[in-house]
Amino acid sequence: MMNIISIMFRLVRERKDRITKMEMARIFSRLKKYGLLCASYHSLYKGHSVTPGSFSSKGSCTGTYFKRLKTFFFLQHVEIKLLPVLIYLQIFFFAALFPLCGAALADLAESMADCAKIGNSVERLKCFDDLSRRQTPAQAKISTPDTADAKAKIIDKPSVMSRQWELDPLSRKEAPIVRSHRSSYILPLTYNTTPNKTPVPNGEPIENMQNAEAKFQLSFKTKLWEDVIGKDMDLWFGYTQLSFWQIYNSAFSAPFRDTNYEPELLLNFRTDYDLFGLKGRIINIGINHQSNGRAEPLSRSWNRIVANFGFERSNFNLLVKTWYRIPESTQNDDNPGIEGYMGYGEIWGSYYWRGHKFGVMFRNNLRLGDNKGAAQIEWGFPLPFISNDRFSGYVQYFNGYGEGLLDYNASSNRIGVGFILTDWR
């Protein structure tokens, strides 16, 4: 063991020309701190004035002492040996990195020199501008925030159904207080070849009713509760008003022939599923009331539970509307047998193309023996020579039963032209 200690101190003595006195003092200070220097070896390193009293003595150099001292000098030896290795690694790293940086700087300097040789000042400035743009794409990429708001700005424009029912985050963020519900339009001129001149059963016919009249509809909705109980569903209130106006019947003060009021409360489920190549986006469940606000015998009203299903594919929308009439007593029923004329639902299809809207509606009572129903075709189109996206030209054709509540049991054959609020652009 004594030989091992002597070898360790000899290692230190051999390297004393390359180790400063400050470093050697640091080694002996560690020996003193950890009690690793006994009095027998305090002055083995010549050239240092060290007295035995300067260090804590453990007495004789026992076996445990030798083991601790051996470990200490081994660590000091490893530290000295590794120092050149670390220096060489740093030199290698900078030597490998410098050519890359130097090549890039050389290329930049060469490009700037080429730009400086251009005689035309405009072309020279353009050259420097192009060089600047080539050097900054990485910085522009880093500075772009990867947030939901930034992504929302670059996504495609929401679909018509998505905007109408606020199905995506962007539509909900930019949502107005009131939205379009059904179509809002005005047809200043319509012509009905089969007007209902006997709205009251067994009543006197209205001889002064004209075939030409105006027809208009106002429809809107507003969201009452978004994300009901934290789920993907919203509560909406919708209102639709449809009027028939004998505006050209000046001999009888141009009266409103009939007006239908239709409020409804709808719980809309935001969905996203595939069905026969279509994307299912909405499911409405709610309650609907429709009446004309008239007194007997012209009063018409009914209440329904409704369920609507909305689908889309690219520029095509499909809305399947179903309903169940809440039963009324015979005494309170203003519309006896209305299901036989209006059926139990209807289908709406719309296609949007370059600012145009092509729509069709179809309903049927699905009764083979006494089949009745209705169909409507509509076309909304941009107005020529008018730059306004808020309204469009509009043509509508209706044939069948139930165009209005007063005429639910009388067939209409009407065509009209006018304007419609553009809710699809």
77 is catalytic: no
Distances (CA, A) of 370 to 202, 268, 327, 334, 337: 21, 35, 21, 21, 12
**Closest of 48, 50, 44 to residue 32, by C-alpha:** 50
CA angle at 89 for the pair 83 and 92, rounded to the nearest 5°: 145
What residue type is 58 in one-letter code? K
DSSP conformational letter for 52: G
CA distance 421 to 182: 10
CA distance 380 to 355: 8
Q: Which of 289, 299, 356, 411 is catalytic?
A: 289
Which residues lie across from 421 on neighbouring strands?
A: 391
What three-state secondary structure class fits 166? coil
289 is catalytic: yes
**Closest of 416, 412, 381, 423 to residue 396, by C-alpha:** 416
What residue type is 56 in one-letter code? S
What three-state secondary structure class fits 74? helix
CB neighbour class for 375 (10 Å; exposed up to 12, middle 13-18, buried from 19): middle
Q: Which of 291, 301, 350, 412 is catalytic?
A: 291
**Closest of 310, 314, 288, 313 to residue 301, by C-alpha:** 288
Distances (CA, A) of 196 to 209, 242, 403, 414: 9, 17, 11, 12
**Category of 402 on φ-ψ map: left (φ > 0), alpha (ψ -120 to 50) or beta:** left
What three-state secondary structure class fits 111? helix
* Pairing status of strand 256-275 against strand 212-225: unpaired
Handedness of CA 321, 326, 329, 331 (dihedral sign): negative
CA distance 275 to 265: 27
**Closest of 239, 238, 218 to residue 165, by C-alpha:** 238
Would you tell me the crossing angle of helices 121-135 and 63-116 to the nearest 10 degrees?
A: 150
- Residues classed as catalytic: 289, 291
